[in-house]
Each structure stands twice: as structure tokens, then as C-alpha cells.
Chains A and B, each alone.
Chain A
Amino acid sequence: MEGTQLVKGVLDLAVLAVVAREDGYGYDVVRRLRAAGLDEVGDASVYGTLRRLYSAGALTSYVVPSDEGPHRKYYGINAQGRHLLATEGKTWTAFAATMDGLLDEAGVRS
């Protein structure tokens, strides 16, 4: 299974988790995802995901003017986003535990 495919499925959750810790602009979120180990994540996918989560009401956004260059657009989490993160997080944890169990039984647990 391709790593990129796996990331695609959980990108919403990963982005929410990153933004929940601290507000961030697009590339900042990309960098933090990569630093966390999600190397496969595509820049544009992250931007698009931020935008979609924002449209869905899970994120807030604000523009920070810069006097030495173009403005930056920051995203932050709100109550709805935190709720989504909590419920999605639980789903993921349960899923991961199930997979761990399966892999354990098959003797391929890392």
C-alpha cells in the first residue's frame, strides 16, 4: 500500500491536530507535518485541506500583514474543529488499535 494513499485518508485529522497545537500559515503547517514524519504529504493537498476545513467551519483564518513582503494567511482551530478532531481522533485510535491487533496476530508487529 502506498504511503501517499494512507496519508490522504487521514490528512484532515493530521492538519487539525497540527493547527490545534498552534495557529499556522500554509507552509508552516506543511513543515510541521513533515517534521512529524509525514514526508509524503503534498504542499497543495495541505493548502486545499486547510481551505476545505475552513469552509466547513472547523477552522478560523486571519491575514497577517507583513511590511517586507506579501501577507500571510494564518489558520486556527475553533470549537467545531476541536470537536471534529476529538471525534475523528477517537475513530482513528480505535482503527489503529484494530490494525495493531491484526498485525500482532500475524506476527508482523513492528
Chain B
Amino acid sequence: MNDTTVIGPVGQAEDVHAYVAGVRAWLADLPADEVEDLTAGMEADLGERAAESGGTLGALLGDPEVYAAELRSAAGLPPRSAPVVADAAAREPWTDQVQRAAHELLARYPWLRELRPTWWLARGAVLGWVLASVLGTGRTLLLPVLGAGLSLWLGLVLRRRERLGHPAGLALAVANVLAAVLLLPMVATYTVGSSASFDEAAFAPPGYPAQVVANGQRVTNLYAYDAAGNRIDGVRVFDQQGRALFVGLDPLMDGSHPELPVRPESGEPDVAADVFPLTWPGHDAWQDSGSGWTPPLTLTTLTRYASASPSPSATPTPTSTPSPSPSARP
């Protein structure tokens, strides 16, 4: 055999090669190893496809652009960040925006990397503080200190891995954003002393309810999954002071939801804004979020949590997994 790939006529091999190159070009904004993973074996597969059907791959599968978009969507990757960044950013899930922004920032200012352990400590302290507040244990030092230690350890462990899988990465992104948002309130609480007087005075004007914001962008919906990876409906979320989180409903009024029930007296949507995911009769709460992201049917089971705590869901999920897990516990 010589060094060239001969699958059917030479013209076909060239077509396959060009097609794969085209697809790669539409994936070029992803990390290199991601592109490598996605396209490994693609040439062989598409070569076989072309040889079987004859004709060009463009005619069989559509343009490389369309193919790459379908590939990304099915793989749970963000849509391509096109040259028109603003437009792409609007369609990109916010967690990906956060991660991408973080990567870009680190690439531009490498010294930030050295500050990361500090952030890990702060992050853990904030989340420990949140937990302490939720549990009503007051301004205890124990949980923040424990949280800081745990977070530092987690950061050191994860540092070796370039990119996390989707569920873990998402959880981490949520934790990071939450910690970043709540860092200031925590510092203020510890320094000023009275959390109540601080919150109303320094943040939202009284009477004007603050909404959930992530990365400077309004959060318009939330999708929750339990430890078994199943979707949870009817979720209510509270912050550290027991205030229910809710979202603004005005984005729903853009005319894309003709079935949306409306309060006759105010003209506002008749939808509970603090129960997630948002839902109303005739609307599938788990369909495409309108931002180009469809919540997956399930996530992978968080084995550590699933086995530790009884599942609150009503459906009887198998509690023990008899299959031997390959992950050896350290």
C-alpha cells in the first residue's frame, strides 16, 4: 500500500478530505484537542459513506457548516462563535460564555493563573458562608474555613485537567459564578456586621426586587437536575437570606409564545416566576430555552451524591448500582 488514501476513485478521496477540512474549519474555535477528538476517524467514516452512496459528500450530508453545527449541537458544544461576536454570544449558553471569558482572560494575563489558589480559597469561603447562612448557624467561621480548604483541594486536583465534562463543568461554573456574585455581600457582612442594613442600602433600591444575574447577563430561566441526573420540575430556589430567586417574565412577551396566559388586569404573563423551569399550560418547560440550548434529557448520575442521600424524586430509581464501578476510590 502506498501513502495515499484510496477509497473508491481518487476524486472521491479528495472530496472526503476537503469535506473533513471544511468541517474542521467550522470547529476551529474549539480547543485543539476537542477538534481532534471530534474529527478522529471522521475521514475513514465519511470515506466509507461516500464510497457506499457515490456522489459528493456535500450532496449527501449538506454543507460542512451545517454538518459541523449539527455535530456541535449533538455533542453539547456551544454554537460556533462567528466573526459577529455579539450575535454568537447572545445565542451561547451563559455557562459557556463564563468559561470562554475565563479562558480568554487567562490567555491574555497569564499571571492571573498564580492568583487562582487565592480565588479558590475565597470561593470556598463564600460557599461555606452561604451554607452557614442557609443553615442558620449565623456568622460561624467553621464552614467558610472548611469550604476554603475543600475548594483549594478541588482546584489543585482539577488544575491538571484542561476541561471538565459537561455536568461537572457546569456545576463548577455555577459554583464559581455564585461565589463571585456573593463575595461582596459576604465581605460586607463580615466587616459591616449587620447584613440586613447593608443589603437594602447598598444594593437594589427598596421595593425594586433584584433579579438573578450571571456574568452581567440576566438569567431568564433555570433548569435543575437531581443527583441521579434526572430533570426536576417545580424547583424553588432561595438565597442565603431565604429570599426566593425569581426571573423577569418580560422576555416571554416577545411574541414567540402565543399560548402564554396573561393576567387581564395587568397584561403581565400569568406564570410563576419563582418556580423552575418556567412553565404554563401548553408549553413544554424543557424545550429549547430560546437561547439555542436544549436541556438534556438526563445528566450522568453523581454517584457520590446519589448513593449518599436518598433521592427526593418520587420515581423509584434503583438506589444501588450492582455493576462494579471502574473508578477506584483514592
Contact = CB atoms under 8 A, between A and B. Distances in A.
Given A55-B165, A78-B326, A82-B323, A49 B47 contact: no
A83 interface: yes
B45 A26 contact: yes
Nearest to B23: A44
Contacts, number: 117
Contacts of B166: 52, 55-56
Contact of B167 (A26, A56, A68, A69): A56
B6 interface: yes
Contact of B325 (A48, A68, A79, A87): A79
A8 B62 CA distance: 19
B325 to A, nearest CB: 6
Contact of B45 (A25, A52, A57, A83): A25
Interface in A28-60: 42-49, 51-52, 55-58
A87 B45 contact: no
Given A47-B38, A56-B166, A87-B318, A66 B75 contact: no
A64 to B, nearest CB: 9
Interface residues of B, number: 44
Contact of B40 (A73, A82, A83): A73
Interface stretch (B64-72, B119-127, B187-195): B64-72
Interface stretch (B206-214, B251-259, B297-305): B297-305
Interface in B272-328: 296-301, 317-318, 321, 323-326
B75 A48 contact: yes
Interface in A60-110: 63, 66-73, 78-80, 82-84, 86-88
A70 B61 contact: no
Given A25-B41, A44-B67, A68 B1 contact: yes
A23 interface: no
Nearest to B74: A48
B37 interface: yes
Given A26-B42, A70-B43, A83 B5 contact: no
Interface in B28-48: 37-38, 40-48
A9 interface: yes
B71 A44 contact: yes
Contacts of B91: none
A34 to B, nearest CB: 11
Contact of B1 (A51, A55, A67, A88): A67
B76 interface: yes
Residue from the set A26, A44, A80 with the largest chain B CB neighbour count within 10 Å: A44
Contacts of B43: 69-70
A11 interface: yes
Nearest to A94: B315
A87 B323 CA distance: 13
Contacts of B317: 87
B74 A69 contact: no
B49 interface: yes
Contacts of A43: 49, 61, 67
B298 A83 contact: no
B52 to A, nearest CB: 9
A68 B48 CA distance: 13
B47 A52 contact: no
B301 A51 contact: no
A22 B176 CA distance: 40
A71 B44 contact: yes
B44 A69 contact: yes
A55 B30 CA distance: 15
Given A12-B297, A44-B71, 5 more contacts: A48-B74, A52-B166, A56-B299, A71-B41, A73-B44
5 contacts: A43-B67, A44-B71, A73-B44, A84-B301, A87-B317
